Every structure is written in C-alpha cells, then in structure tokens.
Amino acid sequence: MERPQTKTVFFRKNNSGFTLVELLIAMAVSAILMFTAGPAYVGLTTNNRAKTVATDLYLALSQARSEATKRNQSITLKPNTGGWQNGWKIFPTNAATKIIGRHAAVSTGVAIVASISGGSTIVTYQSSGRSEQSVSFNITATSGTASATRCVSPDLSGRPYIKSSSC
C-alpha cells in the first residue's frame, strides 16, 4: 500500500507595522511641518491673548454701564492693587464693599495701559449709562517677536467697542 503524498505548505506570515525607513521618513516630514508652523502658532496665540483681555474689559465696561442704568446709580470699575494687569472689580460708587463683579489678573505677557481723563485710575458710569471720564484701554500682548494690540474704549453714549489697533 502506498502512502498518500503530503504536500508541505509554507504560510507566509503577514507582518504589520512600519519599517525603520518608513518611520524615519515620517518623523522627518513631521519635524519639517512643526518648524514651519511654529512661528505662525506663536503669532496666533499672542493675538488670541490680546483679544481675550480686550473682550474681558469690554464685558466689564458693558456690565458697569448696564448696572448703572438698571440700579439708577453710579457704578465704578476700578483696577485691583498694582494696576489693571492684576484684575479689576465693579461696585456701586457709594458702596465699595458691595462687589458686583470681579476679574482676576490677566496672563503674563499682556500689558494694559489705561488712559483716563483727569488722571483718574477708575471708570465711573452715571445712571444715564454715560461715563464720567474719557476712557481708553490699550492692550498689548507680546511673546518673543510676535505682538498684538487692541483698543477698548466707550463711545460718547457709554457703549464700549473694540478696535484691532492701538488707541
């Protein structure tokens, strides 16, 4: 009796993954992309920091104006000790201990220069919604060589607005 012939079949093992050459090429391409996009990212984050602080000041001025008309009394917006970079608070002018709103210190690398008529350091809204002073806030954010500037200032009726340039 003859034995049946058996065939030996070799199965090829499927290897999954990357070769060393493919991995090095992928790393080189990603390094080139990071070095190209890095400076644009710094400019973007600097611009966003200036925009964020400008929006926060805009909201504080709007809140102070709104509270003044709602309560039919003067409302004050005052910087914390050390200047506007250290934050600010909103309160009725005749009751400084009754805080309506607060803002914490702004991020490092952001400078706020307030220009308030009469050499004052505070902004006061009358019950009519108008500011007693001429006010403008020049906000500058810097990071390395990138910088961004915004201006926040109320118009004659007291409504604040933001400009994408210096005051």
**pLDDT one-digit tens code per residue, 28-69:** 999 888 888 777 788 888 999 999 999 999 999 999 999 999
Q: Is the pLDDT of residue 156 over 90?
A: no
Q: What integer is the mean pLDDT of 97-109?
A: 91
pLDDT of res. 105: 92
Residue 127 lies in a domain: yes
Average pLDDT of the residues in 8-26: 76
The CATH number given to whatever domain includes residue 126 is: 3.55.40.10
Flag whether 9 is in a domain: no
Q: Quote the domain boundaries for residue 115.
A: 20-163
Q: Is residue 147 part of a domain?
A: yes
Highest mean pLDDT among 17-21, 30-34, 40-44, 98-102: 98-102
Is residue 153 one of the residues assigned to a domain? yes
- Residue 5: inside a domain: no
CA nearest to 52, candidates 148, 167, 166: 148
Lowest mean pLDDT across 1-15, 49-63, 125-139: 1-15
| Residue 8: pLDDT band with limits 50, 70, 90 | low
Look at residue 69 and tell me if it is in a domain.
yes
- Whether 4 is in a domain gets the answer no
Is the residue at 7 inside a domain? no
For the chain, how many structural domains are there in total? Answer: 1
Look at residue 36 in the predicted model and tell me its pLDDT.
81
> Looking at the predicted structure, is the pLDDT value of residue 18 above 80?
no
* Residue with tokens 């104006």, as numbered in its chain: 65
